Chains A and B, each alone.
Chain A
Amino acid sequence: MRHGRTRFAVGFLVLPVTLYVVYVIAPYAQAFSIALTNWRGVNASPQFVGLENFRRLLEDTVFWKAVGHNLLLLVLLPVLTIVIALFFAFLLNAGGRGGTGGVWGSRFYRVVFFFPQVLAIAVIAVLFQQVFRPDRSGMLNAPLIAMGFEPIGFLSDTDIALWSILGVLVWQAVGFYVVLFSAGIASIPRELFEAAAIDGAGGPPMFFRITLPLLWDTIQVGWVYLGIIALDVFAIVWVMTPEQGGPDYSTTVMAAEIYRNAFEYSRFGYASAMGVVLFFFTIGFAALALRLSRRERIEF
């Protein structure tokens, strides 16, 4: 029995662990050492150059633009998405009273709101490319032109393009968090809402004093998810924007620069150094988010 147990455990683990080590762990480990080389081109032999790539990164204005865009998204995407999603979750659950089943039609709204979440980002990117078109064929510009306004260069104006990306990201993400927060609100015991109602609380005070504090854990998880989405933005920028991160690098992000440097310029060492920077941003953000939002847990 004991022998069979070990053989079984090893037998079940050998394939998944091998696959995982070969395709995931080994590449991550290699990335750190490649970042210290000047590897360029598929057939070149890389040489160790120490921190040279990182020194060059400090002077790379395009990369810092990309970092800036990621940081902007890192702040605004979670804030906007969570605020909008909380608002709708609050409305759907009839002012946050748990257990009352929500407003009439809440199931329908939830199904519709959630749908963008299941669409591929590449598909959404092509779709919004058409919605944002600068002439009368664009969904948003057609009515503007008809009313006599100047069309807006949603993707061609360097001051606007990044906001268009933020808008699409929020458009896609909100539904997921409406559903997540609704589930969170539904799991809050009804008695708490009833007790607060007896004490005269209702509407907004009920939301801020009861619903929000009890939902804090779920919001925190949502915050971390959205932050990681903001740091990993790629497909929407690569597919939707002109010049893949343009115009004039006004929408580029770290992931796009990593891909461009590795697979268009064949600068493998340099791209890996960018990857290492992105890695530290991700780890740093996750640690910060968990630390900042840590507070007394309310058990219920």
Chain B
Amino acid sequence: MTEAAIPHGRSYARQERRRRLGPLSVLTHAALMVWTVLVVVPIVWTFLASVKTEDEIFGDAWSLPATVRLDNWARAWEQANVGQYMINSVLVVACGTFGTMLLGSMAAYVLARYPFRGSRAIYLLFVSGLAFPVYLALTPLFFVVQNMGRVPFIGPFIGLNTHGGLILVYIAYSLPFTVFFLAAFFRTLPGAVAEAAFVDGASHTRVFFQVMLPMARPGIVSVTVFNILGQWNQYQLPLVLLTSAKEKWVLTQGIAEISADAGYDADWAALFAALSMAILPVLIVYVIFQSQIQKGLTAGALK
């Protein structure tokens, strides 16, 4: 193609596209807007209700608040313990995801690059965890965690109704996907850099942390995002493992409890405020990191 042909080709393509999609694009955008409205309206409606008075909430669902009642948010944060639940969730997910990534990447690295008799079997053991429904394990898991509580010294930190116990369970149940995904990733990395590091006298451990982990960064980021979201949104496991320690509850439990408690004398305005509080941080993080999040969550399906 000559120099002169390029601009012509480009503008021709643009014209062609506009010609073909002109009337169609109105319909296209109309259809896309329908789903946009379906997604956005319930969420905006919740945020609006969170600053309404009780009378406004029960009056008409589509009315706008006369004044912005921020005290609903204050009540939800203080009296409904949403603040405490959020701190608990952040703590559990931070430790859980860090532990998952550390142990998961160590296991995946050895299984991917240090083949030995039985390493394939260990790999399959991890991957088989992807196929099991967690509900099958619930009862025995409850008793395993209860028994861990009787272990001398560390027992009080990892038994039932402890964050430590929940974190260990989160790590264990996040390992199958983490190992599966990262092992595939470590296998694709070139070995030359590691060889060079060995020649320079670096130990296996040092090569892992200073050479291989940095090289695996894109994969690590994807799986970290996947694990943070998975653990943040978990409801079933804390429901079983933190039953009788309300002050230890995570956010999903707290929100579900507020709605279950909500009877005739319930504080509905605070319920909407609590809901908004649960959505807002996720929304902010999502808007900032949306492309990494979309990549991280779909990575498993595209591999």
* A interface with B by C-beta (< 8 Å): 4-6, 8-9, 12-13, 15-17, 19-20, 22-28, 30-31, 34, 84, 87-88, 91-92, 94-95, 100, 103-105, 109-123, 125-131, 133, 135-139, 141-143, 146, 171, 174-176, 179-180, 183-184, 202, 218, 221-222, 225, 228, 231-232, 234-235, 238-239, 254-255, 258-259, 262-263, 268, 271-272, 275-276, 278-279, 282-283, 286
Contact = CB atoms under 8 A, between A and B. Distances in A.
A130 B139 contact: no
Contacts of B171: 19
Given A122-B252, A137-B57, A283 B131 contact: yes
A203 B93 CA distance: 46
25 contacts: A16-B175, A19-B171, A23-B168, A25-B129, A27-B141, A28-B140, A88-B32, A94-B17, A100-B17, A123-B252, A130-B272, A137-B58, A137-B61, A142-B60, A142-B61, A176-B297, A221-B301, A234-B135, A239-B259, A255-B135, A259-B135, A268-B139, A272-B136, A276-B136, A282-B132
A9 B251 contact: no
B38 A171 contact: yes
Given A5-B114, A91-B32, A34 B131 contact: no
B175 A20 contact: yes
Given A13-B107, A17-B122, A26 B36 contact: no
Closest 4 CB pairs of A and B: A23-B172, A142-B61, A275-B136, A27-B140
B133 A279 contact: yes
A126 B29 contact: no
Contact of B139 (A17, A31, A255): A31
Contact of A111 (B134, B236, B239, B290): B290
B59 interface: yes
B252 A117 contact: no
A17 B32 CA distance: 47
Given A20-B172, A115-B283, A130-B49, A232 B135 contact: yes
Contact of B278 (A5, A114, A123): A123
Contacts of B279: 119, 123, 127
B29 to A, nearest CB: 7
Interface in B101-121: 103-104, 106-107, 109-111, 114, 116, 119
A179 B298 contact: yes
B21 interface: yes
Contacts of B139: 27, 31, 34, 262, 268, 271-272, 275
Contacts of B169: 23
Given A9-B110, A13-B107, 14 more contacts: A8-B204, A17-B107, A23-B168, A27-B144, A118-B233, A118-B297, A122-B253, A123-B275, A126-B271, A130-B49, A137-B60, A171-B38, A225-B301, A275-B139
A231 B133 CA distance: 9
Interface stretch (B4-12, B39-47, B186-194): B39-47
A26 B240 CA distance: 17
B264 interface: no
A9 to B, nearest CB: 5
Nearest to B293: A118
Nearest to A277: B136
Nearest to A90: B28
Contacts of A282: 131-133
Given A27-B137, A103-B28, A137-B58, A94 B109 contact: no
Contact of B36 (A112, A176, A218, A268): A112
B15 interface: no
B138 interface: yes
A96 to B, nearest CB: 12
B128 to A, nearest CB: 9
B36 A109 contact: yes
B185 interface: no
B274 to A, nearest CB: 8
B298 A105 contact: no
Interface string B200-239: 0001110010000000000000000000010011011001
Given A136-B61, A225-B301, A116 B275 contact: no
Given A28-B137, A118-B293, A179-B298, A19 B172 contact: yes
Given A5-B204, A129-B259, A12 B110 contact: yes
A100 B21 CA distance: 13
Contacts of A255: 133, 135, 236
Given A143-B62, A225-B301, A30 B140 contact: yes
A100 B46 CA distance: 37
B278 A120 contact: yes
Most chain A C-beta atoms within 10 Å of own C-beta, residue among B61, B116, B239, B243: B61
A231 B140 CA distance: 21
B138 A262 contact: yes
